[in-house]
Structure 1
Amino acid sequence: MSEEDPGRDTYPDADRAAVRDEPAPSARVPLDRERIVAAALDFIDANGLPGLTMRRLGEQLGVEAMALYRYVPSKEELLDAVVESLVAQIRDDEVVLDSPRDGWQDFLQRLAHGVRRVALAHPKAFPLVASRPAEAPWLRPPLRSLDVVETFLSGLLEEGFSDEAAIDGYRAYTSFLLGHLLLEVAVHGADVGPLDVLDDQTGEPGLAAYPIVARLRGPLSEDRSAIEFEEALEALLDRMTVARSAHLAE
């Protein structure tokens, strides 16, 4: 490792490989858009979003940054492609359904857990789902692709929801998912702006003036994310049931 750049060996170096008469990584595995996007997601998972640059990604792939632009014209397009890959993982989840089979509650529960699985598998990349432009400006993250939203709405309409109730359900459902999951990935080290206050802090605050907080510090610090997710999802589905029932009674 070079003393001048102690972090250099973090990424494969194509130039040094050539000097050592070794094939560059890109010579061993052909470079393409899919491989670049997968490498970008791996980089974000390991290092966080702020550190991602085309140069560093090129080093990870063993090529010059300019070689990437043939497949991904800009970093902005690369980030959009990372989001597309995350949404594709949701669609490809074997538990997520294309249409209701055992009722709309089961349909939405499966989708919610599919989104959560992706968020927890890629917590540092998941905030991109909220921050990158959607396919249409009126779509709401994390259900931000036309394909996913079409599936969501058609599933509810098949189950007796009116147009208005299905739209209201979409708004409530996306707000629930985004709010809960951004809080959860922040705990797992995601950079979500103001939500960073949830990250672990060095040292302990003085609690002498706050006896109730001090007494309840143990349960307050428990990780109940999974339980809270289930309870909030059930409450949301209950509200949607009332809206659906009101429509059917008309």
Structure 2
Amino acid sequence: MSPEKRTPLDRRRVAGTALRLLNEVGLDGLTLRAIAHELDVKAPALYWHFKDKQALLDEMATEMYRRMAAGVALDAADTWQERLLKTGRGLRAALLGYRDGARVYSGSRFTGTDHARELEANLRLLTEAGFTLAQAVDAGRTTTVYTLGFVAEEQGVRPLPGERREGYDLAERARLLSGFPLAAEAGKLLFDDYDRQFEEGLALVIAGIEARYGIG
């Protein structure tokens, strides 16, 4: 009997497996050896596709972007504010789908040009609204960096939805800071209701862009 035919190994299959494994072991536990074991191949087989772990992270971030872009509906009738809201919300949702998602995505380099279509559309919408190209780039980058930083902090407390790291008990924090009543009360605002926190911060970013460039 002939052996069962295996699905050919390629970069996207390896990245998809790595993203699935990421939720189980986290970034620090994600190794090429563990991924190879999951794929039922020898670790050296992965080096035909990725020279090192950073190259794999780049492909993982690219695959995260592909999945995010597929789930975000861009509308040519969007205002620039609506487009930045969609960008920030879509990125946050994508990152929250993976343990350490923000850490994987931050600082990674896209491995192809899949992002160019959405980037071109966003820059065109902003420049047609009155931004210079430099201003449009700064506005988009600021929104992205805010989102990445926010999710990194959020995942430091809640690695995945429904989880909470030890040490973030709000009642215990309030007890320890009882001599500092404002700081104690702030814990409820800092370490809970992340949806509200994110939306308020994103609104502040967009209001700041409006004020800075005078474009309503």
Tell me whether the two structures share a fold, i.e. TM-score over 0.5. Answer: yes
- 1:59-98 aligned within 5 A: 59-95=37-73, 97=74
Amino acid at match of 1:176: Y
How many angstroms apart in 2 are the aligned matches of 1:45 and 1:100? 35
State the structure with bigger RCO (CA 8 A, min sep 6), 1 or 2: 2
Say if 2:188 is the partner of 1:210. Answer: no
Dislocated runs of 4+, deviation >4 Å: 145-148, 202-206
- Residues 17-28 of structure 1 mapped to structure 2, 5 A cutoff: 27-28=5-6
Structural RMSD (CA): 3.3
Q: Hey, what does 1:3 align to over in structure 2? A: none
1:177-196 to structure 2, matched below 5 A, reads 177-189=147-159
Matched, 1:232 2:197: no
In 2, the alpha carbon distance for the partners of 1:165 and 1:132 equals 23
Distance 1:146 1:201, change over 3 A: same
Corresponding residue number in structure 1 for 2:166? 200
Q: What is the deviation of 1:218?
A: 7.3
Q: Aligned AA for 2:144?
A: T
**C-alpha distance in 2, partners of 1:120/1:161?**
31
* Match in the other structure for 2:11: 33
1:142-165 Cα offsets, whole Å, 9 max, x none, are xxx555543332221022223343
Distance change >3 Å, CA 133–CA 225, structure 1 → 2? same
Quote the sequence identity (%): 28
Q: How many angstroms apart in 1 are the aligned matches of 2:177 and 2:96?
A: 36
Output the CA distance in 2 between the equivalents of 1:79 and 1:170. Answer: 23
Contact 1:187–1:199 (CA under 8 A) maintained in structure 2: yes
TM-score, structure 1 normalization? 0.68
Name the CA distance, whole Å, in 2 between partners of 1:55 and 1:164. Answer: 43
C-alpha distance in structure 1 between counterparts of 2:6 and 2:109, whole Å? 35
Preserved CA contact (<8 Å) 2:22 2:30: yes
Aligned length: 206
Looking at secondary structure, tell me which structure has more helix per residue: 2
What residue identity is the alignment partner of 2:8? P
The answer on whether the counterparts of 1:100 and 1:107 sit within 8 Å (CA) in structure 2 is no
User: How much has 1:59 moved relative to structure 2?
Assistant: 1.0
Match runs of 1:49-68 below 5 Å: 49-68=27-46
SS in 1 for 2:28: coil
TM-score for both structures, normalised by structure 2: 0.77
The runs of 5 or more residues in structure 2 that have no matched partner are none
Any conservation in 2 of the 1:119–1:185 contact (CA below 8 Å)? no
Q: Name the structure 1 match of 2:130.
A: 160
Secondary structure of 1:121 counterpart: coil
In the alignment, what sits opposite 2:77?
Answer: 101
Paired residue type of 2:197: E
Task: Please tell me the residue identity of whatever aligns with 1:165.
Answer: Q
Equivalent residue number for residue 89 of structure 2 = 113
Contact 1:162 / 1:244 at 8 angstroms: preserved in 2?
Answer: no
Q: State which structure, 1 or 2, has the greater radius of gyration over its C-alpha atoms.
A: 1
- After TM superposition, the structure 1 = structure 2 runs for residues 36-47 of structure 1, keeping only pairs within 5 Å, are 36-47=14-25
Query: Which 10-residue stretch deviates more, 63-72 or 41-50?
Result: 63-72
In 1: Cα distance, 2:16 partner to 2:213 partner? 41
The offset of 1:83, in angstroms, is: 1.2
Cα distance change on mapping 1:219 and 1:62 into 2, 3 Å: same
1:48–1:125 CA contact under 8 A, matched in 2: no
